[in-house]
C-alpha cells in the first residue's frame, strides 16, 4: 500500500513538472529592449563618400541616404546580385527592420519597414574596403549617429490642475512615447512637501497596459501603424498606501525612465504637486441661489466636496 502511494505521489509530481514546463515553453516571449547606442561626433566624409544623412536630432520619418563621389556599380547592374558586395559594407545598430538598397549607382539608402521609434538613437556604419568604379576605396570604418525626439511626460498635477485629492489619488499622465512600466514605477514617487520619506507610485493592476489615444473608428490608420509617433500614451499612477490628510505632496518622476520601444532614457525629471483633502468640517450655511423666499432651504457648505 505504501509502495502504491509513493508511486502515485511520484506520478503526480512528474505531471506537475510537465505542466509547469509546458506553461513556460508556451509563454509568449517578452518584448526585447533595443541595444543602447552612444552618441558619436559627426564625422567628415571619407574616401569615396561625398555626403551622408541624417545626423543629430531628427524626426521619426528621417531617411538614411549616402551619396558617393563616383558610381559604385554600373547603371545596367542595378537590381542585380552585383549590388550585394557593396551593400554588405552597410549596417545599422540597433538592427531595426528594413534593408539597405541602391537608389542610383552612386546613392544608397535604407528602406525601413516602419518609422524610427521615438526616443531612439541609431548608429550607421560603413565598413572599410568599399570601392567605387574608379577604384577609390574607403580605408577606415565610417560611423555616425542620429536620434529621434526624447521622452516628454505631461499631465502631472499642480500646473493646470490644483484641485484637492483623495488620500489614495489616481494620477493620470501622458507621454509622447510608450514607456517601460517597470522603469516608470521605479522612478515615480510622491513626498510630503514639509519633509518625509518618498512614497512609491504604482501603476494600478486594472490599468496594466498603456492606453494610446483613439485613432480612427474600427482600427488604426495605416499612417499611425507605420509611425506611432503621433500617438499620446496615457498612464495611471497611485501611491501604494494612503496619504495623510490636509498635506501638500510633491510628485517626482526622476530622469532615467526607459521607453518601451526605444533606447534613450529620459534625461530630465518631471515634477508636480497636489494637496489632499483635510478632515471634513462644516463651514457655514447660506441661502440657496434663486430662492424667492426667506423660508427657502439653506445651502450647507463643507470643507470638502460631499
Domain boundaries, the chain: 49-147, 153-275, 280-306
Per the model's pLDDT, the better-predicted residue between 291 and 119 turns out to be: 119
What's the CATH fold of domain 49-147? Immunoglobulin-like (2.60.40)
- Once rounded to an integer, what is the mean pLDDT over residues 156-181? 90
**pLDDT value of position 229:** 74
What's the CATH fold of domain 153-275? Immunoglobulin-like (2.60.40)
Per the model's pLDDT, the better-predicted residue between 290 and 204 turns out to be: 204
**pLDDT value of position 215:** 42
| pLDDT at 9 > cutoff 70 | no
Per the model's pLDDT, the better-predicted residue between 13 and 142 turns out to be: 142
What DSSP letter does each residue of the chain carry, written as one string? -HHHHHHHHHHHHHHHHHHHHHHHHHSPPPPPPPPP----PPPPP-TTEEEEE--EE--TT---EEEESS-SS-GGGTTSTTHHHHHTTEEEES--SEEEEEEETTEEEEEESSPPPSS-EEEEEE-TT-B-TT--B--S-EEEEEE-----EE--TTSS----B-SS--EEEEESSPBPHHHHHHHEEEEETTS---EEEE--GGG-S-EEPP-BTTB--HHHHH-GGG--EEEEEEESSPPPTT-EEEEEE-S-PPBSS-S----S-EEEEEEB-----EEEEEEPTT--STTSPEEEEESS--
CB distance 176 to 118 below 8 Å:
yes
Grid coordinates belonging to 153: 511626460
Is pTM beyond 0.85? Reply is no
Please state, for a pLDDT cut of 70, what percent of the chain lies above it: 73
**pLDDT value of position 10:** 45
**pLDDT value of position 4:** 45
Q: What integer best gives the mean pLDDT of the chain? A: 83
| pLDDT at 82 > cutoff 80 | yes
- Once rounded to an integer, what is the mean pLDDT over residues 81-86? 90
- Once rounded to an integer, what is the mean pLDDT over residues 180-188? 97
Per the model's pLDDT, the better-predicted residue between 10 and 64 turns out to be: 64
Q: In Å, how far are 13, 48, 146 from 135, measured between CA atoms?
A: 70, 9, 30
pLDDT classification of 48: cutoffs 50, 70, 90? very high
Q: Do domains 49-147 and 153-275 have the same CATH topology?
A: yes
Q: What is the pLDDT of residues 218-273, one digit of tens each?
A: 445 555 566 777 789 999 999 999 999 999 999 999 999 999 999 999 999 999 99
Amino acid at each position: 500500500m505504501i509502495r502504491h502511494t509513493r508511486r502515485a505521489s511520484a506520478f503526480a509530481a512528474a505531471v506537475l513538472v510537465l505542466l509547469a514546463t509546458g506553461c513556460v515553453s508556451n509563454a509568449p516571449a517578452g518584448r526585447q529592449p533595443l541595444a543602447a547606442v552612444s552618441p558619436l561626433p559627426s564625422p567628415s566624409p571619407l574616401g569615396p563618400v561625398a555626403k551622408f544623412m541624417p545626423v543629430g536630432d531628427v524626426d521619426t520619418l528621417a531617411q538614411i541616404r549616402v551619396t558617393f563621389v563616383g558610381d559604385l556599380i554600373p547603371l545596367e547592374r542595378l537590381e542585380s546580385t552585383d549590388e550585394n558586395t557593396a551593400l554588405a559594407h552597410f549596417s545599422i545598430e540597433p538592427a531595426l527592420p528594413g534593408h539597405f538598397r541602391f537608389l542610383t549607382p552612386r546613392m544608397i539608402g535604407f528602406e525601413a519597414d516602419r518609422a524610427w521609434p521615438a526616443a531612439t538613437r541609431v548608429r550607421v556604419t560603413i565598413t572599410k574596403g568599399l570601392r567605387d568604379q574608379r577604384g577609390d576605396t574607403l580605408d577606415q570604418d565610417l560611423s555616425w549617429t542620429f536620434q529621434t525626439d526624447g521622452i516628454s511626460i505631461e499631465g502631472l498635477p499642480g500646473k493646470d490642475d490644483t484641485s484637492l485629492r483623495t488620500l489614495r489619488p489616481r494620477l493620470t499622465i501622458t507621454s509622447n512615447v510608450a514607456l517601460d512600466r517597470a522603469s516608470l514605477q521605479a522612478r515615480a514617487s510622491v513626498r510630503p512637501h514639509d519633509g518625509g520619506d518618498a512614497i512609491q507610485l504604482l501603476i494600478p493592476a486594472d490599468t496594466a497596459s498603456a492606453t494610446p489615444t483613439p485613432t480612427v473608428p474600427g482600427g488604426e490608420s495605416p499612417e499611425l501603424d507605420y509611425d506611432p509617433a503621433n500617438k499620446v500614451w496615457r498612464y495611471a499612477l497611485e501611491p501604494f498606501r494612503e496619504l495623510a490628510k490636509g498635506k501638500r505632496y510633491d510628485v517626482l518622476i526622476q530622469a532615467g525612465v526607459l521607453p518601451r520601444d526605444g533606447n534613450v532614457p529620459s534625461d530630465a525629471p518631471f515634477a508636480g504637486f497636489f494637496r489632499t483633502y483635510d478632515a471634513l468640517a462644516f463651514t457655514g450655511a447660506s441661502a440657496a441661489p434663486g430662492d424667492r423666499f426667506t423660508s427657502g432651504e439653506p445651502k450647507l457648505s463643507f470643507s470638502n466636496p460631499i
